[in-house]
Chains A and B, each alone.
Chain A
Amino acid sequence: MAQAIPAGQKWWSGGKSPFNVEYGKLMMWYFLMSDSFTFGAFLISYGSIRFATNGWPNPNEVFKAFPLVPESIHLPLVFVSLMTFILIMSSVTMVLAVAAGHNNDQKKVTFYMILTIIGGLMFLSCQAWEWTHLHGEGAWWGRNPFPNADGSKASTNFTNFFFTITGFHGFHVFSGVVINVIMLIKNLRGDFAKRGHYLMIEKAGLYWHFVDLVWVFVFTCFYLL
């Protein structure tokens, strides 16, 4: 992968692409890096507050509902597993769209972009349901009906962090869906076919995978730990 660079070669004097990626793609990578710092800061503050608190609600007690299933039946982790599956699946269809773009297959790109958008909308619907359900139970910013795992009274930090971080992630999913819809429209208009390459799909794909990546951490931090 790495190669020796001949002495005296001026890689950065222009006319070359030292990283062998398109400018926009490289900048997308650096944007995502900065975005990961934002999410990282959120999760770090969540973690340090949690470490600085004696008790914390048990996620298995809080997230145990499933749509259309009676409240009395407790299904911890099942709904969030479904959400994780949906997001991973839409990530796969996104890579397949990128792969189709590499083969200049306009029809396949359209097909997989539609699937990805559906996946994103499904995830957003799941999150909307979960938020509505928790709000119905009395949880919101500044309100926490769930006691700590040891039975003592919990602070509102739990709900504040949950809604802020999953909300920020959900907002990213929403923007991702909007970006994907724009890409789909551009693809249907034949913009990429005219241009001869589908790099825009790749950039949208990077963003979409990043959303999936963040969810992996949100899933661990809020539902497992």
Chain B
Amino acid sequence: MSTVETTSHDNAHTTFDAKPIWRTFWILLGITLVEITLATIHLKTGFPNKYVLNGIYLILTCAKAFYIIAEFMHLRHEIKNMIMTIAVPALIFVWFIIAFLWDGSSYNALRNRYDAHYAEQNLIKVAPAEGEKPAAEKPGSAQ
């Protein structure tokens, strides 16, 4: 790891011990079990608020992603410059995600505010019989 002046193809600096592999496996399994346990508790009791829960899921997902990339894909043991060429574009993507979700949410808010028909659709519960349209769904009845 100390020198990069190599042209040979043997990656002598990379070591694949069985121990960290299994450690990573247990971490991944543990995180997944925690996620499922939280989901089950939420189903039974509704205890962790859904928004809090979603935040926890996202953090745990990122943790899992980190362990897969760092340990299984061995990126943690590569040269820092190479890590950066992969990590930086991926991290810029996070901004992209936030921007799009924000945009979607804003679009929905605007439609609910200015499109009465659209907002009303959510109040109509699914009709028991197929093809039987509730009165509110007919055009012109939205006002």
Whether A210 and B73, one on each chain, are in contact in the complex, defined by CB atoms closer than 8 angstroms, is: yes
Among residues 65 to 100 in chain A, which have CB atoms less than 8 Å away from a CB atom of chain B?
A: 76-77, 81, 84-85, 88-89, 91-92, 94-96, 98-99
Q: Kindly state the interface size class of chain B when it binds its partner.
A: 35 or more
**Residue in chain A with minimal CB distance to B87:** A33
Complex alpha-carbon distance, A148 and B36, angstroms: 22
Q: Mark A17-54, 1 if CB is under 8 A from B, else 0.
A: 11111100010011001001100100111011111111
Q: How far is the CB of B34 from chain A (nearest CB, A)?
A: 11
**Residue in chain B with minimal CB distance to A199:** B9
Interfacial residues, chain B to chain A (CB-CB below 8 A): 1-7, 9-11, 13-18, 21-22, 24-25, 28-29, 32, 35-36, 39-40, 43, 54, 57-58, 61, 64-65, 68-69, 71-73, 75, 78-82, 85-86, 89-90, 93, 96-97, 100-101, 103-105, 107-108, 111-112, 119, 121-126
| Contact of A20 (CB < 8 Å), options: B11, B24, B69, B86 | B11
Complex alpha-carbon distance, A21 and B10, angstroms: 9
Q: Mark A126-166, 1 if CB is under 8 A from B, else 0.
A: 00000000000000000000011011110000000000000
Question: Are A98 and B36 CB-contacts (below 8 A) given A20-B79, A52-B107, A152-B121?
Answer: no
Question: Are A18 and B16 CB-contacts (below 8 A) given A48-B101, A48-B104, A216-B68?
Answer: no
Whether A20 and B100, one on each chain, are in contact in the complex, defined by CB atoms closer than 8 angstroms, is: no
Q: Is A3 an interface residue (CB 8 A)?
A: yes
Q: Is A125 an interface residue (CB 8 A)?
A: no
Whether B97 and A40, one on each chain, are in contact in the complex, defined by CB atoms closer than 8 angstroms, is: yes
Whether B28 and A88, one on each chain, are in contact in the complex, defined by CB atoms closer than 8 angstroms, is: yes
Complex alpha-carbon distance, A150 and B90, angstroms: 35
Complex alpha-carbon distance, A145 and B86, angstroms: 41
Whether B126 and A1, one on each chain, are in contact in the complex, defined by CB atoms closer than 8 angstroms, is: no
Interfacial residues, chain A to chain B (CB-CB below 8 A): 1-3, 15-22, 26, 29-30, 33, 36-37, 40, 43-45, 47-55, 60, 76-77, 81, 84-85, 88-89, 91-92, 94-96, 98-99, 102, 147-148, 150-153, 197, 199, 205-206, 209-210, 212-213, 216-217, 219-220, 224-225
